[in-house]
Amino acid sequence: MLFLSLGGLSFAVLQSLVAPALPAIAADLQSSTGNISWILTAYLLSASVLTPIFGRLGDMIGKRKVMVIVLVILFAGTLVAALSTTLPVLIAGRALQGAAGAILPLSIGIVRDELPREKVGVTVGLLSAIFGIGAGLGIVLAGPIVDNLSWEWLFWFRWC
């Protein structure tokens, strides 16, 4: 349960963390508003396409195996984004991070498979709440991180 919660929290924070930092990223990478919006678009597009695919793969080959794969992809995407010095590389990293959209459905599937029926509802509610909390935290934390460090630290702090 702890690992499912941490994975979900990481995805949720990353979902909202970048939005407040877009002006700083655009200035640093000397990009237009239209181009910089691809940072959000790539993430959301990747999540919307890959979430059902990874969910189905979880049903076919095992939710735990697919969860590990998704978490490795999230880690790789975060590393790419943190080390990026150009907009295309940052967009690629964000697209990899978006693949982690499958964390919530895979987590719910694992909970349904592993826990007794009477604990499933509470646990799914807790996982859903963690996603909401993570999204809120991302928006709040982005400003101080960018103001005091730089936008690259948005991705480094995700590992802390």
Three-class SS state of 88? helix
CATH of 2-151, one of 3.50.50.60, 1.10.1240.10, 1.20.1250.20, 3.10.310.30: 1.20.1250.20
CA dihedral 49, 55, 57, 61 (to 10 degrees): 160
Give the CA radius of gyration of the chain: 16
pLDDT in the model for residue 51: 94
Burial class (CB in 10 A: 0-12, 13-18, 19+), 137: middle
* Opening angle at CA 30, ends 29 and 35, nearest 5: 85
Tens-digit pLDDT string for the chain (160 aa): 667 777 777 777 878 888 889 999 999 999 998 899 999 999 999 999 999 999 999 999 999 999 999 999 999 999 999 999 999 999 999 999 998 888 888 988 988 888 888 888 888 888 888 888 888 888 888 888 888 888 888 888 654 4
DSSP state of 101: G
Q: Let me know how many helices (H) and strands (E) the chain has, helices first.
A: 9, 0
Q: Tell me how far apart the alpha carbons of residues 21 and 6 are, in angstroms, rounded to a whole number.
A: 23
pLDDT in the model for residue 160: 46
100 closest CA partner among 131, 75, 133? 75
